[in-house]
Amino acid sequence: MGRFFSISSILLAAALPVSACSFSKTPENQLFPDGSAPIDVSLPPPTGSDGGGGGLISDAMVTCAEANPQTTNLPPDVLIVLDRSGSMNDDLNDQPCMAGCTSKWTTAVQTLTSYLPMVEGKVNWGLKLFASTSGGGGGNSSCSVNTGAEVAPAANNSAAIINRLNMTTAGSSTPTTAAMKAASAYLKTLKDPNPKFILLATDGIPTCGSSMCAAGVNTGGGTNQCDDANAIAAVKTVHDDDKFPTFVLGIGTANSPGDSTLSQMAVNGGFPRNDTPQYYPIGSADDLTQAFMSITQTVGQCFFSVTPALTSTQSIGGVTYDGGTIPADPANGYTAMGSGIQLNGQACSDFMAGTIKNVRVLVDCNG
């Protein structure tokens, strides 16, 4: 039978500056018998909103944690899972790239080269390529996806990502299912308590499967190798079970045969656009920059981590605030994600406006 307790929470907005926190060491005579201590944390409301006189104010008392709770501001870890299939050598209209044209792969590399250095202080960016390259270069491993990441999520690592991309060329199949499973397995190995996200950037239908491809799909081979259903299911598992939300970008895919597949993946990933298509359609370098800007802003709001990270015997049981309870609702409540929560829709808007204050996470201590 599990033991239920309140972390009267360490809820820390990922994008708030370090200077926004105020905290002090607890005197030894105020420590609890199990070694935990109450920590008062005061965070002002986001810039531009007085929040009705209060931001996030919480106190933490962890009664079954192995270490005292710590107060930290945690930028999100975002793993870019980037398609390097052969069709990325086509132009953004999905036509063979002739002399003088800019391919989808070049557009992606150039956009990341200019954008990532501007926001590397806000997000811990990482990079995983699919299919994997051989020997660290631009070779074609077809349907193979390695464990690990080409560049681990970390602060101020845009140069490492750019250097890795400049070492790489497109030329594989599109093993989206394997890429999502490997990305999730890799993120599970990271021990930091930062909120974690996947940004899937691909230019079309998942391949390396055994299903009949839709009419008009160019796989570069036979027609019995598409893998739409498995890729859609993999994104749902990564979001629902593994608690890693996924953004989906379609590079040069608007109105393509893979349109509905990418939209369903975006829905399953937890962050569909409120538009058609529901994934982020990329028809130009500007579109790609705007998509990255929108995603960067989104992951910096309404995401909170509980520290220390929950153990295998702990789970998030609910979220309350002064005046009520926030429901577990992916539309307008909260979603549990690893060692933290995400406020959605109206709940996020109310927090940003200061209507919701003194948020607390309830944690089940199982076993």
Are 337 and 184 in contact, with CB atoms under 8 Å apart? no
> Cα(225)–Cα(231) distance, rounded to whole angstroms?
13
Which residue from 199, 200, 198, 197 is spatially nearest to 305, judged by alpha carbons?
Answer: 197
Which residue from 252, 294, 296 is spatially nearest to 108, judged by alpha carbons?
Answer: 252
350 in helix, strand or coil?
helix
- CA distance from start to end of the chain: 6
Quick one: tokens of 189? 């190995």
- Region 238-247: mean pLDDT is 92
**pLDDT classification of 19: cutoffs 50, 70, 90:** very low
Kindly state the greatest CA–CA separation across the chain.
Answer: 74
Q: What is the dihedral of CA 217, 220, 221, 224, to 10 degrees?
A: -30
Quick one: tokens of 30? 């105020």
Per-domain boundaries in the chain: 3-72+307-365, 77-299
In tens, the pLDDT along 285-312 reads: 999 999 999 999 888 778 777 776 777 7
Are 173 and 190 in contact, with CB atoms under 8 Å apart? no
Domain 77-299 has CATH 3.40.50.410: yes
With 50 as the cut, is the pLDDT of residue 3 above it? no
With 50 as the cut, is the pLDDT of residue 58 above it? no
Among 1-10, 72-81, 104-113, 254-263, the range scoring the smallest mean pLDDT is 1-10
Q: Which helix (H) or strand (E) holds 295?
A: helix 285-299
- Predicted structure pTM score: 0.75
pLDDT of residue 14: 38
b/e per residue 101-114 (b: at least 16 CB within 10 A): eebbbbbbbebbee
Which residue from 73, 55, 70 is spatially nearest to 18, judged by alpha carbons?
Answer: 73
